Amino acid sequence: MNLAHLHLLLNHVPTVGYGFGIAFCVAALLRNSEDLKRASFVVFFAVALAAIPAYLTGNAAHFVLQNEAGISQEVIAAHQNAAMLALIPMEITGLVAWMALWRFRAWTVPAVLALSTVTFALMARAATIGGQVRHPEIMAAGGSAYAPTWPSPAAVGAQFVLDNPWVWPICEVFHFVGLCLLFGVVLLVNLRMLGVVDGVPLADVNRLLPWGIAGLGINIVTGFLFFLASPDQYTQNAAFAWKIGLMSLGGLTLLYPTMFDEEPASAGDVMHAPGTRKTIAAASIAIWIGVIFLGRFLPYIGSE
Amino acid sequence: MESALAQLEQSGLAVWIRESGVLYGYPLILFLHTLGLSTVVGISSAIDLRLLGFASSIPLASLEKTFGLVWAGLALTAATGVLLFIADATKHASNPAFYVKLLFVALAVVTLASVRRRVFRGQQRGTLAAAASLASWFVALSAGRLMAYVSEFVS
**What was the ipTM of the complex prediction?**
0.95
Q: Does A238 touch chain B (CB under 8 A)?
A: no
* Number of other CB atoms surrounding residue B21 within 10 Å: 10
Minimal-distance CA residue of chain A relative to B67: A197
Of B27, B57, B149, the CB nearest to A169: B149
What span, in angstroms and rounded, lies between the C-alpha atoms of B104 and B83?
Answer: 20
Q: Which whole number is the average pLDDT over A194-202?
A: 86
Q: How far is CA B9 from CA B3, B16, B82, in A?
A: 10, 10, 12
Distance to chain A for B77, nearest Cα, Å: 14
pLDDT of B136 above 90? yes
Distance to chain B for A198, nearest Cα, Å: 6
Q: Does B58 touch chain A (CB under 8 A)?
A: yes
Three-state SS across A232-263? Answer: HHHHCCHHHHHHHHHHHHHHHHCCHHHHCCCC
CB A282 within 8 A of CB A230: no
Picking from A179, A191, A201, the residue whose alpha carbon sits closest to that of residue A289 is: A179
CB A159 within 8 A of CB A86: no
Higher confidence at residue A148 or residue A260?
A: A260
CB A298 within 8 A of CB A237: yes
Distance to chain A for B109, nearest Cα, Å: 16
Q: How many CA atoms lie within 13 A of A167 on its CB side?
A: 17
Q: Does B46 touch chain A (CB under 8 A)?
A: yes
The region of weakest confidence among A16-20, A64-68, A148-152 is A148-152
Confidence of residue A136 (pLDDT cuts 50, 70, 90): low
State the DSSP H helix or E strand holding residue A174, giving kind and residue range, or none if neither.
Answer: helix A167-194
State the burial class of residue A165 (Cβ atoms within 10 Å of its Cβ: 0-12, 13-18, 19+): exposed
Q: Where are the domains of chain A?
A: 1-150, 152-304
Contact (CB<8Å) A184/B44: yes
Q: Which residues of B touch A181 (CB under 8 A)?
A: 42, 45
Q: How many CA atoms lie within 13 A of A3 on its CB side?
A: 25
pLDDT of A201 reads 85
Minimal-distance CA residue of chain A relative to B69: A187
Tens digits of residue pLDDT in B75-119: 999 999 999 999 999 999 999 999 999 999 999 999 999 999 888
pLDDT of A268 above 80? no
CA angle B107, B111, B115 (to 5 degrees): 175
CB contact set of A37 (below 8 Å; sequence gap of 6+)? A24, A25, A28, A100, A104, A109
Q: Which residues of B touch A182 (CB under 8 A)?
A: 42
Picking from A158, A140, A149, the residue whose alpha carbon sits closest to that of residue A59 is: A158
Higher confidence at residue A262 or residue A54?
A: A54
Which of B22, B28, B30, B31 is the best mutation test for A, with the most CBs of A within 10 A? Answer: B31
Contact (CB<8Å) B23/A297: yes
Q: Where are the domains of chain B?
A: 2-154
